[in-house]
Amino acid sequence: MKILIATKNKGKLAEFRRMLAPLGYEAVSASEAGFDADIEETGATFAENAAIKARAVCSAAGVPAIGDDSGLCVDALGGAPGVYSARYAGEHATDGENIEKLLSALKDVPEEERGARFECAMVAAFPDGRGLRAVGQCWGSIGFEKRGSGGFGYDPVFLLDGRSFAELSETEKDEVSHRGKALRRLMELLQEEFDR
């Protein structure tokens, strides 16, 4: 069964495909389904932005769609960059530019005060207006430099049990990540919906 994913982020899409395939689902991006419009993320929370994306794609395609919004929340920065994670260093900032800005903002923060969490909200929107929501979090800390070659976004500086997300294998990351947790919960909710 195909599931429409409301994202243009190649890293996120790869993770969806990897995690959904063993469950018998094929993740299809909105652009692959013919919806290529930019969706303005005007929500104040990850859940609001996920719902905006899911509803926009569902409405345009006429089929159920999953929207995801996620980001990094750093304790020493009052929860920033939060919903602005992808554009922390500017509207069209690269992952590297966002990481540079983050490390610069934390340059004088000691190791014990560099706590952070990745958070992900997922919303499944249906053509009849119904929706399901799931949230996942992963707590860790921010390192002092980039480590590892995997992942995307802030993965090279997000540390969990002494390793960065970019140093974990795909399987290890999927097991502990905010997106993995949110997706597994959302799939449980979808299964309950289908079983009714």
Identify the CATH number of the domain defined by range 2-195: 3.90.950.10
Q: Which of 81, 82, 119 is nearest to 101 (CA)?
A: 81
Mapping DSSP onto H, E and C, the string for 143-195 reads CCCCCCCCCCCCHHHEEECCEEHHHCCHHHHHHHCHHHHHHHHHHHHHHHHHH
Instruction: Give the closest residue to 3 by CA, choosing from 16, 18, 22, 15.
Output: 16
Six token digits for residue 51:
């719902």
Secondary structure of 79-118 as H, E, C letters: CCEHHHHHHCCCCCCCHHHHHHHHHHHCCCCCHHHCEEEE
Over its length of 196 residues, how does the chain's per-residue pLDDT go in tens digits? 788 998 888 888 898 898 888 878 888 888 888 877 788 889 999 999 999 999 999 998 888 899 999 999 999 999 999 999 999 999 999 999 999 999 999 999 999 999 999 999 999 999 999 999 999 999 999 999 999 999 999 999 999 999 999 999 999 999 999 999 999 999 899 888 767 6
**Structural domain spans, the chain:** 2-195
Judge contact between 191 and 132, C-beta under 8 A: no
Provide the phi-psi class of 169: left if phi over 0, else alpha when psi is between -120 and 50, else beta.
beta
Residue-level pLDDT at 184: 92
CA gap 3, 1 in Å, rounded: 7
pLDDT of residue 196: 67
Q: What residues act catalytically? A: 69
Please check whether residue 159 is in contact with residue 117, taking contact to mean a CB–CB distance below 8 angstroms. no
Tokens at residue 71, please? 């980001």
Bridge partners for 135 per DSSP: 121
DSSP category for residue 14: H
Q: Which CA distances in Å does 20 have to 26, 30, 103, 167, 186?
A: 7, 16, 33, 22, 11
